Structure 1
């Protein structure tokens, strides 16, 4: 390494101080939605601060970001430091020169300290971003819980109001049918009234399931046969689209305190949704796993999946991605209501490379 004069040392210190100032300015003015742009700016500042800045290349590798300057060498001589977030290593920043023109001796001790300080600043930025992201997630969950709570109260009221007139329509229509013996067309029309009333009654039941207004009959049961029977009942739907379905469940009893009818409703809704969105000859997997404190049911399909923009709305009542007339928008909200009433949780994530994965966790209570 060539000798550095006092004047050159002073210039290097000025470059390092300037770098720290610029990095701090970038972080202070950073919008949390543009963290990647801020990190690119920080790497550019680092590049300028090195002794041989025209040859220096920088990269940041982390669990979320992979940012590399354009001419980063394949076999570099490099100086590196860890980026820590909440005392956990999440990545590294490397400053490199190309071999064989440069060697480890071309790095200054002050540059090593500068890199450590910049990594500390980057770690602080990522910590603040993580805190902000968590605040947003918690806020959304609270808002969603409030909306679902209000909707639950409204739908419970609607369901109770509709039950009596629907029962009257169904009862009087059936009574009228017994009196019509000669008029075939009138009999057919009454059948339509009866079928429509029965369909409407089922919608009201779904509303009551969502609002957790249906009386539960909780008991400790082996859920294996319940899940198997529910899936067997959907065999015609599987065959219609030539869908292969695989159920992975232990042969040993899996005991869980549940309402058996409501558990069947959960399996039905989730699997029927998977069938609806699956391609012909697709595959649906139903996995049931038991841990010490939890039973986890996972349903995986190969359909189009759910757009990230609407993924936070899918459990809201009356929200449906199906065409008009093909879905009431109550299926997933019913599942959400049942799972919540069992003190469980339901989650969605994308299947790779395509499809959807719904996971239901039932605690052993």
Structure 2
């Protein structure tokens, strides 16, 4: 009985030998399809299982510095389908440190016969093949040696498949980078539109595009692939813009996939994601540079307009001073005339009031035009604030405005004109009070800087739109009604601060309030070039 079984087995293998060429052709065609590793393992295992007629085929496929074991087995009973099982990968070093012998099969029970083939190309092992049978003696001694040609063809097929997959993935990655480079170069698209298109483009470059999603997060904005789904397997990289971490790019699989170089991701996919992050970084830098350039150009144009207006205002102010002086003088003389009718006296009072108002406007114009040089001395900014706020305490209480002071102790003194600094504080406080018709909080604070001191006037009023903020230092610009403002308050503040070598910054949000911050330098920095005389106490 046993001899007849051996004879029958030998006949089966002899017939199989005649089919080697047909099998080799099928395997090469399969390799040419560039299937992913798991799919290729399953299909080639099923072909080998049918060819050899054994009960199970275990393949250890070498890929990305790991061995990926899998087993394809026939059912023990009934007509259940062929079972394909994937096992955790093992490092190449871990397997090969055991010596030149192939790794032991993972599953040995209930198999009674095992035959092993080494699949290699030019002495480079690509896989190990374990053929397993539940019948003892299923693989006669010396029989498998006749299949070395098949083993070589299998090795060539594995190498070919690997090359096909690598080529396809590199083409996908290069295509992705090319499309992203085209997108980032388009000036007709906004940054948000470009980032959204990049997010939609990224999944197509990954090994499993059908289950991949991408997301780009910049600051507080997020751009995700349409139908984005979270997954536990995630590949991400930060986006750095001028040494500042602005966000990150993420690619995720929403289905579990076997381990490769970095989780289920390829090393080349990591390189691709880093390259995309650099492209996004360069895009943000270019757009930021363009915005800053446009802003600087507008500031230059604005400064040029202010200079022109200042020159015009200075000339007009000087021309008006003389007739205003005459009007005031003659009006005061006329009031001293005996027997002046009451109506005439009231009219003269109106003339005097209007003339004084006009003279105040002229004074502000001269300050704005820097025709009234500041008389500077060492000034305690906290003292200027305390004296200036004394006049507003009762008004704030009456209008339901909480006045909060936060003055730094040991604040260094600055060289400045105390009267002009008081004018700055008064103008800013008046603006803040007018911005809070329903009450609120007015905060005045001082602090010490590395090379100066700062004064902050902050309110919780109605705030300003960006368009208004861009015009607030333009003379005669006002949002108030006719007769309620000259439009010179903030231009005067700007003129005084710049004449002291300082700077002024504005931050405002509609419905939340406005903050003015003035920074004045310490010592004599920036004063002598204005030509003003410094006084010391």
Deviation of 1:251 (Å): 4.8
The aligned residue for residue 208 of structure 1 is: 366
C-alpha separation in 1, matches of 2:292 and 2:411 = 39
Matches within 5 A, 1:1-365: 2=38, 5=161, 6-31=163-188, 34-63=190-219, 65-98=221-254, 100=256, 105-252=263-410, 254-350=412-508, 354-365=512-523
Instruction: Answer yes or no: is the 8 Å Cα contact 1:224–1:254 preserved in 2.
Output: no
Deviation of 1:352 (Å): 8.8
Q: Secondary structure at the match of 2:415?
A: strand
Which one has a bigger Cα radius of gyration? 2
CA offset digits 1:264-301 (Å, max 9, x no partner): 00000000000001143311000011234211000110
RMSD (Å) for aligned C-alpha atoms: 2.1
Mean Cα deviation higher: 55-64 or 176-185: 55-64
Q: Secondary structure at the match of 1:163?
A: helix
C-alpha separation in 2, matches of 1:27 and 1:74 = 27
Instruction: Answer yes or no: is the 8 Å Cα contact 1:20–1:118 preserved in 2.
Output: yes
Instruction: Answer yes or no: is the 8 Å Cα contact 1:61–1:91 preserved in 2.
Output: yes
Q: Secondary structure at the match of 2:252?
A: strand
Distance 1:44 1:226, change over 3 A: same
TM-score (structure 1 length as normaliser): 0.93
C-alpha separation in 2, matches of 1:237 and 1:17 = 69
Distance 1:10 1:238, change over 3 A: same
Distance 1:143 1:102, change over 3 A: farther
C-alpha separation in 2, matches of 1:13 and 1:140 = 46
C-alpha separation in 1, matches of 2:515 and 2:319 = 36
Deviation of 1:22 (Å): 0.8
C-alpha separation in 2, matches of 1:8 and 1:203 = 80
Higher RCO, 1 or 2 (CA under 8 Å, sep at least 6)? 1
Instruction: Answer yes or no: is the 8 Å Cα contact 2:463–2:511 preserved in 1.
Output: no
Distance 1:320 1:182, change over 3 A: closer
Q: Secondary structure at the match of 1:318?
A: coil
Instruction: Answer yes or no: is the 8 Å Cα contact 1:77–1:102 preserved in 2.
Output: no
Q: How many residues align?
A: 364
C-alpha separation in 1, matches of 2:190 and 2:298 = 21
C-alpha separation in 2, matches of 1:273 and 1:54 = 60
C-alpha separation in 2, matches of 1:106 and 1:291 = 52
Q: Secondary structure at the match of 1:54?
A: helix
Q: Secondary structure at the match of 1:309?
A: helix
Instruction: Answer yes or no: is the 8 Å Cα contact 2:465–2:509 preserved in 1.
Output: no
C-alpha separation in 2, matches of 1:151 and 1:242 = 38
C-alpha separation in 2, matches of 1:30 and 1:174 = 67
C-alpha separation in 2, matches of 1:261 and 1:345 = 18
TM-score (structure 2 length as normaliser): 0.64
Q: Secondary structure at the match of 2:467?
A: coil
Q: Secondary structure at the match of 1:217?
A: coil
Deviation of 1:110 (Å): 2.0
Deviation of 1:107 (Å): 1.5
Instruction: Answer yes or no: is the 8 Å Cα contact 1:265–1:335 preserved in 2.
Output: yes
Deviation of 1:99 (Å): 5.1
C-alpha separation in 2, matches of 1:197 and 1:100 = 84
